[in-house]
Chain A
Amino acid sequence: MSINATLVIQMVVFFAVIWITMKYIWPVILGAMEEREKKIADGLAAGDRAEKELQTAKAKVETLIIEAKDQAGQIKDQANQVATKVKDQAKNEALAEKERQLAAAEAEIEQQVNRAREQLRQQVAALAIAGTEKLISQEIDAKKHAQLLDELIAEI
């Protein structure tokens, strides 16, 4: 158990081992570890950000829904108004049409009545003339007595 050249060899190997570790092992593995740490930190930060974005999006959605509800209510009201208006208009139109039809019918009826009355009057006049002719047995000159006859017809 004496000191010999083994010491020198061990020293050389010692430096070689340290050099290889320093060059090819330590930076590579530690680099991977640090990169992963960074990735995880980034991931966590992204998670936080997403959470915040979600909150704002939720708030936005809520306001949008409220707005949409308001609009829907307004539209409904407007539609109701329009509907009543249309209904009223139709009703009024129908009523007017009814009046018009009624008036036309009445006018026609009156016309018919008048015509019938005229015909009746002429027939009565003819009957009267025939009757009178028979009664007085005398021919009436239609031309001479036209005025008289017209007056007679107008009286009937």
Chain B
Amino acid sequence: MASGENGGSAGDYISHHLVNNTKELVEGSSFWTINADSVFYTILLAAIYLLFFRSVAKKATAGVPSKTQNFVEMILGFVDKQVTDVFTGSSKLVAPMALSIFIWVWLMNFMDLLPIDLLPWLGTLVGIEYMKIVPSTDLNIVFGMSFGVMLLVFYYSFTVKKPVVLGYVKEFLTHPFAAQGWLGKILLAGPNLFLNLVETLAKPVSLSLRLFGNMYAGELIFILIAVLTVNYTFADFFTAGGILVSVMQFILAFVWAVFHILIITLQAYIFMMLSVVYMNMAHETHEDH
């Protein structure tokens, strides 16, 4: 975990690990820039997920399942149960969406558990100076997913609620405060609109920032643990203090990694469940109070 050969300070090491490797698509434009490392790893992980599950699906048998199929079926069964528990409408999309989110986000979070300098070090061997390997610590990635979920939510809100389009607009203006007369309805439309706007805006933000915050903090703690020996030369590890610090670093990293296994799974699960809940809200039709 040491990168003593860089000879940089702890601050350099930390910021070095928190900066994305960017490529400008349009010269001088800050928006038309991509975080090459995030894009690479997110697509790589999506490909791993899809290829693995597709290979299992191809060989899927209703007879005695292989161990791999059994494992995949366990995950599928778990997701399916969660979705049927929460989601009351009928949709062919929600369960596959939940599975995709769960596995994909879990894989992204799992990158956090890889030795912090392993992949960046491999990158330096092929000429990539620095990279950030955990896509879910990139705001673009988490917002990309939460906006994706919200697009689906809007699509289903407009198409499923009766009457089409107007049903959602009506819900926006008459909930959560409902009135009987037309005057009351007009008076309450403003507050209702305001509250619903806030609520709707809060959905993607809370969804993505919850994941981002947890992963970013976890990554930061791994970095801080790694910083303990950042300026060590090879000889430093064999001094009395060096041995002590190394052992302490190992224990800290180990304990945090074990704890982090829970966090990455929990965060993937929460992201999945909230998406399903939002989709369920999009499919609900409110009766008039």
Taking beta carbons and an 8 Å cutoff, which residues of A are in contact with B?
Answer: 1-11, 13-18, 20-22, 24-33, 35-36, 39
Contacts and interface: CB of A to CB of B under 8 A. Distances in A.
A28 B53 CA distance: 10
A3 B54 CA distance: 32
B145 interface: yes
Contacts, number: 130
A11 B144 contact: yes
* Chain B, interface residues (CB within 8 Å), range: 35 or more
Identify the interface centre among A7, A20, A27, A36: most chain B CB within 10 Å of its CB. Answer: A7
Interface of B: 18-20, 22, 25, 30-35, 38-39, 42-43, 46, 49-50, 53-54, 56-58, 60-63, 65, 69, 72-73, 76-77, 80, 92-93, 95-97, 99-100, 104, 138-141, 143-145, 147-148, 151
A139 B34 CA distance: 185
A29 to B, nearest CB: 5
B215 to A, nearest CB: 13
B143 A22 contact: no
24 contacts: A1-B18, A2-B30, A3-B140, A4-B34, A4-B35, A5-B33, A6-B33, A6-B39, A7-B147, A8-B144, A9-B34, A14-B100, A14-B144, A14-B145, A18-B148, A21-B53, A21-B97, A22-B92, A26-B95, A28-B60, A29-B72, A29-B73, A30-B76, A30-B80
Given A6-B38, A26-B96, A1 B139 contact: yes
Given A3-B31, A18-B93, A24 B57 contact: yes
B147 A11 contact: yes
Given A17-B104, A29-B57, A9 B76 contact: no
B63 to A, nearest CB: 7
Nearest to B142: A10
A9 B144 contact: yes
Contacts of B97: 18, 21-22
B62 A32 contact: yes
B100 A29 contact: no
A26 B76 contact: yes
Contact of B61 (A6, A17, A32): A32
Contact of B139 (A3, A8, A13, A17): A3
Contacts of A4: 22, 30-35, 140
A94 to B, nearest CB: 81
A7 to B, nearest CB: 4
Question: Which of B31, B39, B76, B96 is the most central at the interface, judged by chain A CB atoms within 10 Å of its CB?
Answer: B96
B53 A6 contact: no
A6 B141 contact: yes
Contacts of B145: 10-11, 14
